[in-house]
Structure 1
Amino acid sequence: MEIANQMHIIVEGLKKVGEDAKAINYYPNYLGYKSDMVMNIKSFSSILEANEATKLLASRIIADVDVFHYHFGTSLTLDGSDLPLLKELNKKVVMHHWGSDVRIYSQAVKLSPFVNVKCLKEDAIKRRLEQLAKYIDTCIVSDYELYEYVKDYYSNLVIIPQAIDLNEFNQIEEPSKNKKITIVHAPTSPEIKGTIHILQAIEMLQSKYDFDFKLIQGISYEEAKKTYVNADIIIDQILIGSYGLCSIENMSFGKPVVCYISDFMQEKYPRELPIISANPTNIKEKIEFLLNNRDCLSDIGMKSRKYAKKHHDINKLSRRFIELYQVD
């Protein structure tokens, strides 16, 4: 499963350093992420037919593959029948968890009082993790928030930050000071991002300030990037307490990013993190400060680009993946 273009970025990074790697995506969507192979599970007449197709694919490729890097709690077959086989064959298997596949509300709310989750069936998440850990020793997460949900399951747990290809995100020069400030919010999951609170804040501020606001939804990944280029301020999420790919991509563009960073995660992230932290209780005031202090946007943007380059460049992170694959 492709999450936030990460599978594609990781695979392309591995290819650049000479590794033979391929990405397979079973769940293509309107975002249009690239992949070496796409098998649309929804195109089959039944889940049974789809499962048989994935099992057939698995039977064709397992013998020739040394490392299986799975994402979002899914594997090569829909029913997970590949997992015991891969363990028996002593193949290297890595599970990469990304967020709502492991985020358990009773734990998440201790880290962020504002958090919302996609799945409230905590027992189902726990059972899934227990099942995966029977066959998979190594797990990757991108930060210490996700670490909290999986730390009791896998024997080898590694934190590798989200990756980005900086060549696709050239820093944008500061727009003319004569034009109105443009604020962009592009939620893929509005209820998780806190979109309703952001819209309420924007509505109140528009009665007092002259600025443009764009709510971006339902367009492709490439089209969304074009919108980011013309933005002055990006608002990501204000509930979860950690930043994701939307923040990273826009920091790479040299954009100031507003995103909630919880007290727990403030202690875990690098001290130079330039994100403007905001939550539902102060999002209006944080945006208003930026509207009144436009001169600071350029400096925040430069620090943002520097941060993304230092911590999220796939050219630096590829080696970490390879080293992990090589561990017995």
Structure 2
Amino acid sequence: MNTLTRGLQAHGVMAHYLDYSSSYLGYGSDYFWRLASELGSPDIYDRLRRFTLALIPKYDLFHFHFAQSITFDQTDYPLLQQAGKSVVMQHWGSDVRLYSVAKKSNPYVLVKQNEQIVRRRLSRVSGHVQHCIVADKELLQYVKEYYPQVSVVPVMIDLTHYTVEEEWKPNERLLIVHAPSHPGIKGTNFVLKAIEALKEQYNFDFKLVQGMSHEQAKEIYKQADLIIDQLHIGSYGLLAVESMALGKPVICWISDYMTEQYPAELPLIRANPDTIQSVLENLLQERDCLPEIGIRGRAYVEQHHDMVKNSRRILEIYQRLQSI
């Protein structure tokens, strides 16, 4: 959200980012309201509605994320509609992933939320919002029956913040990094089990990245020779994109279905809970292939995940909605 805002600003748009949660990642925001401590207040929803009314004259379009809105209780949607404002919802993964749908094409999938709750949420939100954005066709599966219009725009990063070391070569002792935001969903137990088994035969270092700011974590990614993303979801996310932007080879489970949907040049190394140990062992034995995979990863991100290009695509969606 922070990156999208800066991308829109680069195109001359007045865009601001409102955040209610204080994340340890430390991305920063234009407006911040530490709302968690106030949700028990008896007048909080009245205050949020007044806040919405104060924002309405200042903006033409409201872009929400994770099935949320300004007021949390969705009472702001009618206010925005009455004021003639365009509204976009962007879904990111766990807020829409449906197990009954996902398991048809991905036997390793895990979900974080009860399917009935997710479906009720989608029905409620899509009753007010006409246009939805998702990052790939894995997420498209879950939302397409709910929204009249769905656009696929890949996640974006500011490439000027990610530099690639020239003529990078792996360390003598490979440094393997795993950075799970949600260990269960990311398959961390399988990663740790594979690492422990391989340490009996191979000399390498392993680092688990958790609870750090984004900038602190990025410094570790820069040192890594190989980064492990996730082993269950079947599609790749922001960690894989950032790692590829740094020229690092990435292990990630991509389902057969999504392998067909992504561009053919996607350079991720596929592994799931059943194959992670053998995939890691092959890479420990064939370490010379890692720099070339990293080079292809950087080129892929430049083509498909650039902040300037992808924020332009979202701006074009805004412009179409405004013309309607």
Q: Which runs of 4+ in 1 moved over 6 A?
A: none
The residue aligned with 1:229 is: 222
Aligned-partner Cα distance in 2 for 1:307–1:131: 37
The residue aligned with 2:180 is: 187
Contact 1:41/1:50 (CA < 8 Å) preserved in 2? no
The residue aligned with 2:84 is: 90
Q: Structure 2: which 5+ residue stretches go unaligned?
A: none
Equivalent position SS for 1:183 = strand
Q: 2:163 aligns with which of 163, 167, 170?
A: 170
Q: 2:137 aligns with which of 124, 144, 150?
A: 144
Q: 1:69 aligns with which of 59, 63, 66?
A: 63
Contact 1:181/1:211 (CA < 8 Å) preserved in 2? yes
Q: Shift of the alpha carbon at 1:47?
A: 5.5
Contact 1:14/1:21 (CA < 8 Å) preserved in 2? yes
Q: 2:73 aligns with which of 68, 79, 86?
A: 79
Q: CA offsets per residue over residues 194-225 of structure 1, 9 Å max, x none?
A: 10001100000011000000011111111110
| One-letter amino acid of the counterpart of residue 104, structure 1 | L
- Is residue 108 of structure 2 the alignment partner of residue 114 of structure 1? yes
- Is residue 147 of structure 2 the alignment partner of residue 154 of structure 1? yes
Q: CA offsets per residue over residues 244-264 of structure 1, 9 Å max, x none?
A: 000000000000000000000
The residue aligned with 1:44 is: 38
User: Does the C-alpha gap of structure 1 residues 234 and 48 become closer, same or farther in structure 2, counting only changes over 3 Å?
Assistant: farther
The residue aligned with 2:308 is: 315
Q: CA offsets per residue over residues 12-62 of structure 1, 9 Å max, x none?
A: 001111110000001121111111011111122616444333222212111
The residue aligned with 1:306 is: 299
Aligned-partner Cα distance in 1 for 2:134–2:287: 36
Equivalent position SS for 2:111 = coil
| One-letter amino acid of the counterpart of residue 33, structure 1 | Y
Q: CA offsets per residue over residues 284-328 of structure 1, 9 Å max, x none?
A: 011111111111111000000000000000111121111100112
Q: 1:268 aligns with which of 261, 280, 295?
A: 261
Aligned-partner Cα distance in 2 for 1:252–1:148: 27
User: Does the C-alpha gap of structure 1 residues 183 and 50 become closer, same or farther in structure 2, counting only changes over 3 Å?
Assistant: farther
The residue aligned with 1:3 is: none
Q: Shift of the alpha carbon at 1:178?
A: 5.6
Contact 1:32/1:220 (CA < 8 Å) preserved in 2? yes
Aligned-partner Cα distance in 2 for 1:45–1:312: 36
Q: CA offsets per residue over residues 110-142 of structure 1, 9 Å max, x none?
A: 1211111111x2122111111111111000000
The residue aligned with 2:206 is: 213
Aligned-partner Cα distance in 1 for 2:257–2:93: 16
Aligned-partner Cα distance in 2 for 1:82–1:220: 32
| One-letter amino acid of the counterpart of residue 159, structure 2 | L
TM-score (norm 1): 0.95
Aligned-partner Cα distance in 2 for 1:125–1:192: 17
Q: Structure 1: which 5+ residue stretches go unaligned?
A: 1-6
Q: What do you get for the CA RMSD once the two structures are aligned? A: 1.3
Aligned-partner Cα distance in 2 for 1:175–1:301: 9
Aligned-partner Cα distance in 2 for 1:266–1:177: 27
Q: Shift of the alpha carbon at 1:144?
A: 0.5
Aligned-partner Cα distance in 1 for 2:312–2:39: 41
Aligned-partner Cα distance in 1 for 2:237–2:276: 18
Q: Shift of the alpha carbon at 1:176?
A: 5.2
- Is residue 7 of structure 2 the alignment partner of residue 13 of structure 1? yes
Equivalent position SS for 1:267 = helix
| One-letter amino acid of the counterpart of residue 270, structure 1 | P
- Is residue 120 of structure 2 the alignment partner of residue 127 of structure 1? yes
User: Does the C-alpha gap of structure 1 residues 163 and 45 become closer, same or farther in structure 2, counting only changes over 3 Å?
Assistant: closer
Contact 1:254/1:301 (CA < 8 Å) preserved in 2? yes
Q: Shift of the alpha carbon at 1:162?
A: 0.5
Aligned-partner Cα distance in 1 for 2:73–2:41: 10
The residue aligned with 1:242 is: 235
User: Does the C-alpha gap of structure 1 residues 159 and 211 become closer, same or farther in structure 2, counting only changes over 3 Å?
Assistant: same
User: Does the C-alpha gap of structure 1 residues 307 and 176 become closer, same or farther in structure 2, counting only changes over 3 Å?
Assistant: closer
